[in-house]
Structure 1
Amino acid sequence: MKLHFSKQNVLIWGSIGVGVVLFAYFIMNYFDHHPSTEDAYVQANTTNIAAQVTGPVANVSVSDHQLVEKNQLLFTIDPLPFQIAVNKATATLANQHAALVLAEQNAERILRLVKIGQQSKAAGDQAQSQLDSAQAELEAAEAQLAQAKLDLQHTEIRAPNRGIVTQFLLRPGNNVVANNTLFVLVEQHDFWVDANFKETQIAHVKPGQSVKIVLDMFPKHTFYGTVDAVSSASGAVFSLLPPENASGNWVKVTQRFPVKIIIKNSDPAYPLRAGATATVTINAASSPNSKT
């Protein structure tokens, strides 16, 4: 049986073929320049909160998951032992000051007698040594008082930045040890997304390119951001158990590279939370620092 193709049919099918090829090309080009991943998570700066002195908790001024402002009082440690230390150091400083005055008067008298030959040079040296010692003891007392005042000040623990208090379990009467982490403050002024892209997706990704971000918790809201940096090493490089490639059973695995994306349009109606999952799409066709 013979097939008959009219010129019109050839043109139609040829046009369809060209259209399919062009469509496939544009689709591939689009995804090549608009890499997307669901392996992405919101991040924020966190601060471990610790007391700088040891003692029992006297008062608690915040609760878990509370928003606090910078320098807001979080809790206090019983200040009585530290106030006693300040009082004692103040008294010691007064005594050392009096001892210095006495040493100065004695040295002045002895050195004057040495000049006129009524005291030996050894007596003059001893008087000068006592004066130097009194001066050193006064400076030590001043340092002790300054440290006591600083310790007393440290009985008030304040927020270093604006943020959300998390893992807060302190109660009055709990004993805290200096420099031991007590809870965490999640800062609220800077958020970013760490997105893990396959190595086959980042050929055209550069800092400054625009990004669309959709969080799983707010699927109908779009956040916007910019690429801040592309990691120079894959996640496997920092793994505790890096892949072993020396064996004969090696299988090639596509690596993922973290891309840091700064979120630009945070909205109080859609509060960002560290650890939230996200879907990000980078417009790798955009110019660096583009706003679109």
Structure 2
Amino acid sequence: MSRLSQFARALSRQKALLAFIAILVLYGAYVYWRSLQDYVSTDDAYVGAHVVSIAAQVAGPAAQVFVHDNRPVRAHQRLFEIDPHPYQIAVLAARALVAQRHALLVNAEAISGRTQRMAARHFLSSQASETAQATVKADRAALAAAQAALARAKLNLSYCLVRAPTNGYLSNMRLRPGAYIQAGTPLFALIASREYWVTANFKETSLGHMVVGDRAHVHIDMYPGHMFRGKVVGISGGSGTAFSLLPPENATGNWVKVTQRVPVRVLILDPNPHWPLRIGTSADVTVFFRTHRRH
């Protein structure tokens, strides 16, 4: 009887152990399932930043180039200068025209004053007085136009020196002194370093709980040992294929359902000059959902 009791107790302990193990496995599976509900990840992500196309607003040969390709620049730093001499001459000519128009106006006003006094004494006709006043108005308009031309000439002269609109890095910069520059023609790019983001293409099935403001972790392939903090700042209103040049046409007999991907912009909150970012490079992104939406 004692052997039967010992066997029963041993069997009971085994059952209890198996039950405990089963509970642990179920709990682990539950924790893993809940963790999958708390975040989503994708490796279909790429670094982006604002890219400014640098172009001159006036034409002429490049007199000086102050920067080099792939170098950092600061806002308002000199980039290059177009030969200013033709524009300096234009300013001098505009100033001479203003002086001429001003002298003509002063003379017309003096003549108009004398004409009005003589017309009041009936030494001249009223028509002569009206003609003199009209001349004054025309000379005032001519002076205003000359002043506008001077302002334009000064503005064009200021455009000869081109400065960086923001902090950043130069790219595709091949401009050299002596090269002729056409107004409005893009010359090179300035990648703004003030703000970087990652465009992460998540599966549509992963977006049910994602909203703007969710925090994120970003790992750039260039720096596998470093993690950047991020925040969701935008979720596209359509999938990537919806805005392609030739969007897919599903109204066919051989249509096959394919899970689409939706671009999500994740702002990098802690860019670091020790880990410089490069646009177009690959990244892994994990977005964590907010606690109050887990249930």
Task: Give the TM bin, normalised by the shorter chain.
Answer: over 0.9
Offset at 1:210? Answer: 1.6
1:55-110 deviations in whole A, cap 9, x for unaligned?
11111100101111111110000111101111111111111110000000011111
Offset at 1:141? Answer: 0.6
Offset at 1:24? Answer: 2.5
1:27 pairs, out of 23, 32, 35, with 32
Offset at 1:189? Answer: 1.1
1:161-215 deviations in whole A, cap 9, x for unaligned?
1111111111111111111111110011111111111011111212222211111
Aligned to 1:277: 282
Give distance in 1, aligned partners of 2:148 and 2:291. Answer: 60
CA RMSD of aligned residues (A): 1.9
Q: Counterparts of 1:1-292 in structure 2 under 5 Å?
A: 6-286=11-291
Give distance in 1, aligned partners of 2:166 and 2:241. Answer: 34
Q: What secondary structure does 2:110 align onto?
A: helix
Unaligned runs of 5+ in 2: 1-10
Give distance in 1, aligned partners of 2:179 and 2:292. Answer: 56
Offset at 1:117? Answer: 1.4
> Amino acid of the residue matched to residue 58 of structure 1?
A
Q: What secondary structure does 2:224 align onto?
A: strand
> Is the 1:209–1:286 contact (alpha carbons within 8 Å) kept by the matching residues of 2?
no
Q: What secondary structure does 2:225 align onto?
A: strand
TM-score (norm 1): 0.92
Aligned to 1:3: none
Give distance in 1, aligned partners of 2:262 and 2:26. Answer: 32
1:19-71 deviations in whole A, cap 9, x for unaligned?
43333332222123210000111111111111000111111100101111111
> Amino acid of the residue matched to residue 49 of structure 2?
A
> Is the 1:208–1:287 contact (alpha carbons within 8 Å) kept by the matching residues of 2?
no
Q: Larger C-alpha radius of gyration, 1 or 2?
A: 2
Unaligned runs of 5+ in 1: 1-5
TM-score (norm 2): 0.91
Offset at 1:9? Answer: 4.6
> Is the 1:32–1:201 contact (alpha carbons within 8 Å) kept by the matching residues of 2?
no
Give the fraction of aligned pairs with identical amino acids, expressed as a percent: 43
1:111-135 deviations in whole A, cap 9, x for unaligned?
1112121111211111111111100
Q: What secondary structure does 2:101 align onto?
A: helix
Give distance in 1, aligned partners of 2:235 and 2:26. Answer: 33
Q: What secondary structure does 2:124 align onto?
A: coil
1:242-279 deviations in whole A, cap 9, x for unaligned?
11111011111111111111111222211112112110
Give distance in 2, aligned partners of 1:265 and 1:47. Answer: 22
